[in-house]
Amino acid sequence: MSNPRTRVVLLGTGTPRTEPGRAGSSTAVIVDDRPYLFDFGPGVGLRLSEGYERGIAGLAMSGVTRAFLTHLHSDHTLGLPALMLTPWMFGRVEPLEVYGPQGTAAMARHVAEAYASDVAKRSFNEPHTDHGHEMIATDIVPGVVYTDDLVEVEAFAVRHGDWVPEIHGPYPAMGYRITTPDRTVVISGDTGPFPEMVDTYAGCDVLVHEVYSTKGLASRPAGWHAYHERSHTSGAHLGRIAAEAKPGVLVLTHQLLWHATERDLIDEVAAVYDGPLVYGRDLDVV
């Protein structure tokens, strides 16, 4: 497709272990220059500005009005204050709508409370829109969680380790399937293997998926092995899933390498998957 209406921009491909050049997890799905953000890790505001300066019109700060969260880990959420305030300073008129698992609405409320003094001072001293700093946050469960004239966003449950049921509820981590007029995009979020992977991913045009290197995991202390194996997806397992689901293109993100190399991880995936593959970097456009 030479000029798709839908583009996928990797705003951040990083992990909790900070690395130069990699912002925290965030992906933008842009349809006709309207952005929909999935996760908002540290550095998301800077990446939005950088992408816009590179000519990606759909990343104009004032147009950021919809954001979806996969889970409540810090490397996926630390950019929320930036999404609340920075677009407002660029003239956003609408409140920011945020959708995510149980705890999302409480997090948004606490962020708003934390920056109430900032909002009060700017409202008193600076020209501003009345509602552009506000957030409307909704806790969601799997199913269709958002629709408008350009997209349908469906959340699905994933397995990302163990959570505290009393705090995080029955669906603490989710991925998203986004259907637009010309493409279907699946964003895995952080996930270990789960039985419905192939059916959930099948037929999508773009699969943005987290991944770790088995070779790299071998260098980690033994106590971490079981955690990563049930909380994240190895290159070999992702390759097998992709070989069955047959996405139009598989995009690797949140790459946990440890002491392995990029080539090691690509080889692990490609050993069982021979379809189109992109090793994601910040501000890649697919």
Domains of the chain: 6-279 (3.60.15.10)
Length of the chain (residues): 286
Dihedral sign for Cα atoms in the order 227, 277, 69, 88:
positive
CA distance 110 to 105: 9
Question: In Å, how far are 159, 193, 212, 227, 258 from 220, measured between CA atoms?
Answer: 21, 20, 12, 11, 8
- In this structure, what token pair is assigned to residue 160? 């990302």
pLDDT tens string 47-61: 999 999 999 999 999
Could you give the C-alpha distances from 150 to 61, 191, 225, in angstroms and in order? 19, 27, 42
* Mean pLDDT of the residues in the chain: 96
- Is the Cα torsion angle 270, 233, 157, 14 positive or negative in sign? negative
Contacts of 87 (CB under 8 A, 6+ apart): 61, 62, 63, 64, 65, 96, 132
The percent of residues above 90 in pLDDT, for the chain, comes to: 94
Task: Determine the average pLDDT of the residues in 29-41.
Answer: 98
Q: Residue 121, Cα to own-chain centre: how many angstroms?
A: 32
Contact residues for 133 (Cβ-Cβ < 8 A; gap 6+): 84, 85, 88, 95, 119, 122
Tens-digit pLDDT profile for residues 163-215: 999 899 999 999 999 999 999 999 999 999 999 999 999 999 999 999 999 99
Match 């919809």 to its residue by tokens.
66
Residues contacting 161, CB < 8 A, separation 6+:
192, 227, 230, 231
pLDDT of residue 223: 87
Kindly list the strands in the beta sheet with 135-139, ordered across the sheet, starting from the edge strand earlier in the chain: 6-12, 26-31, 34-38, 66-68, 96-100, 135-139
Q: Give 19: exposed, middle or buried? Use CB within 10 Å, 0-12, 13-18, 19+.
A: exposed
Q: What is the mean pLDDT of residues 138-162?
A: 97
Q: From residue 72, give the alpha-carbon distance in Å to each of 75, 123, 247.
A: 9, 30, 27
